[in-house]
Amino acid sequence: MEYKVLTDQDIQFFQNLIGKENVLLLDLEKYSADATENLEFYPDVVLKPNSVEEISKIVAFCNENLLPITPRGAGTGLAGGALPIKGGVVLSVENLNQIIQIDEKNFQVIVEAGVINYVLQEALSEKNLFFPPDPSSWQSSLIGGNISTNAGGPKAVKYGVTSNYVLNLEVVLPNGEIIWTGANTLKNSTGLNLTQLFVGSEGTLGIITKAVLKVIPKPEKDISILVPFYDLEEACEAVSAIFHAGVNPSALEFLEQRAIDAATEFLFADANSSFEKNSEIQAHLLIALDEKIEIDLQKLVEVVSKFHIGEILFAENETEKARIWLIRRRVAEIVKINGYTIEEDTVVPRANLGKLVKKIHQMADENDFKVVCYGHAGDGNLHIRINHPEFKNSYNVPEIQLILAQLFQIVKNLGGTISGEHGIGLIQKPFLPIVFSKANLELQKTIKKTIDPRNIMNPGKIY
């Protein structure tokens, strides 16, 4: 379908509707990129509406006039989902930033899509409540974006990902109609699960404007533990063993040593990050416990001691925990600066993690690129960062796409899939036929087409 080119009359319409100050035509750099590789696509206009009613009218107008809309949160995505590859309208939900209600009695909150994850966390913390999904981008990423990508984060291993906390959504459909998808209840067997159809749909089916989220009581105490491993694969094997011992970690992260070293050097002048520095250490597991801590700690030490490990570090004070987690939180951006520009978000059944790490390192050796891995090992979710001497992007680079196709075939053979928490967006789209059958993909496309027949919502993504 041929999209219309934005006209002065269109701009006039938008200005009348949401006010001139919310219609941006110049200095759109900020809206031309996200956290994905080194990609840049400029929209024709950025709209920052202030209400669901305004969004409804914008969407209805764009639908009628065949103007493509790219919905945008904070632009922290890692798959290019927020990039306006067809130009047209970027619709930012940043002005919808109200926490509407914290219902302490029912452990629920109602938020607008533009609330920053961190802001919600802080507001909840004051009331001893807790919203577990906290991707590394939590200090800037918006709840609407978290929902659209089904974001995870370190605590997903115990508490689940974003989808597990979304009870009900207000959504503007591609025809401009506003719906609530479900009910504000913990259980729901009433009709099709539209709520979960929109979670993770990356703005391709409509625009999420409000969410009713489940929250839980804030854990009273937590402790972080660092276990250095002399062998990469053993670190992965230990992950499975920890669960089999009955330990219930609130985080179980894997970090390759070269990622830790890069982050330590970047962040700490004294190079002291609490992680063990030893050229023979290949990886660390970073484990958190927040319930039955004594019992689980004992089991944990027993299990990991069977492997070839360095000295275990127990971090109980806030300063030390903060230092350790800063490394984990910022590792992606730091290794990216160091040339590891291409990030993958593979996920496999947990016990197959060791095989995956081994294979990707073999591939790197054979194909003369560098690789560094880290991620949410407890979920089997491994982030693989690639530093290729010649290519810094995967998008539209056949050499890299060949490597990735090979990688995803391995992941598929291990029972896994392409993305655990980042989404498909733009850059992973070519690889879907590796993990989905033709009939499955056809069904996804048919659903998209049915809901958005004129393909105005985030065109060129996923499908």
> 89-128: which residues touch a copy of itself (CB under 8 A)?
103-108
Our CB check for a copy of itself shows the closer of 313 and 447 to be 447
What residue spans of 347-424 are helical by DSSP H?
Answer: 353-367, 398-413
Our CB check for a copy of itself shows the closer of 212 and 386 to be 212
H/E segment holding residue 196? helix 194-198
Q: Out of 281, 348, 410, 456, point to the residue binding a copy of itself (CB under 8 A).
A: 348
Is the distance from CB of 46 to CB of 92 less than 8 angstroms? yes
Q: Smallest gap, in angstroms, from Cβ of residue 446 to a copy of itself? A: 6
Neighbours of 411 (CB within 10 A): 25
Residues 165, 377: Cα–Cα separation, whole Å: 21
Q: Out of 345, 354, 407, 426, point to the residue binding a copy of itself (CB under 8 A).
A: 345
Our CB check for a copy of itself shows the closer of 348 and 410 to be 348
Span near a copy of itself by CB under 8 A; candidates 34-42, 46-54, 155-163, 253-261: 155-163
The one-letter amino acid code at 9 reads Q
Strands 69-72 and 89-92: parallel
Span near a copy of itself by CB under 8 A; candidates 11-19, 30-38, 306-314, 422-430: 422-430
Q: Out of 47, 83, 143, 156, point to the residue binding a copy of itself (CB under 8 A).
A: 156
Is the distance from CB of 275 to CB of 265 less than 8 angstroms? no
Under DSSP, the state recorded for 141 is: -
Q: According to CB under 8 A, which residues from 425 to 444 bind a copy of itself?
A: 428, 432, 435-437, 439-441, 443-444
H/E segment holding residue 217? strand 216-217
Q: According to CB under 8 A, which residues from 10 to 49 bind a copy of itself?
A: none
Task: List the one residue out of 324, 311, 320 whose CA is nearest residue 276.
Answer: 311
Span near a copy of itself by CB under 8 A; candidates 24-32, 87-95, 174-182, 331-339: 174-182
Q: According to CB under 8 A, which residues from 298 to 327 bind a copy of itself?
A: none
Residues 23, 124: Cα–Cα separation, whole Å: 33
Task: List the one residue out of 371, 372, 377, 370 whose CA is nearest residue 347.
Answer: 377
Q: How far apart are the first and last CA of the chain?
A: 15
Is the distance from CB of 357 to CB of 285 less than 8 angstroms? no
144 binding a copy of itself? (CB under 8 A)? no
Residues 286, 265: Cα–Cα separation, whole Å: 19
Our CB check for a copy of itself shows the closer of 256 and 345 to be 345
Q: Out of 22, 117, 257, 419, point to the residue binding a copy of itself (CB under 8 A).
A: 419
Q: Smallest gap, in angstroms, from Cβ of residue 248 to a copy of itself? A: 8
Q: Out of 44, 253, 421, 452, point to the residue binding a copy of itself (CB under 8 A).
A: 421
Under DSSP, the state recorded for 326 is: H
Site string for a copy of itself, 183-202 (x = CB under 8 A): xxxxxxxxxxxx-xx-xxx-
Q: Smallest gap, in angstroms, from Cβ of residue 62 to a copy of itself? A: 18
60 binding a copy of itself? (CB under 8 A)? no
Our CB check for a copy of itself shows the closer of 48 and 57 to be 57
Q: Smallest gap, in angstroms, from Cβ of residue 246 to a copy of itself? A: 5
405 binding a copy of itself? (CB under 8 A)? no
Strands 207-214 and 108-112: antiparallel
Residues 285, 374: Cα–Cα separation, whole Å: 10
Q: Out of 161, 236, 259, 283, point to the residue binding a copy of itself (CB under 8 A).
A: 161
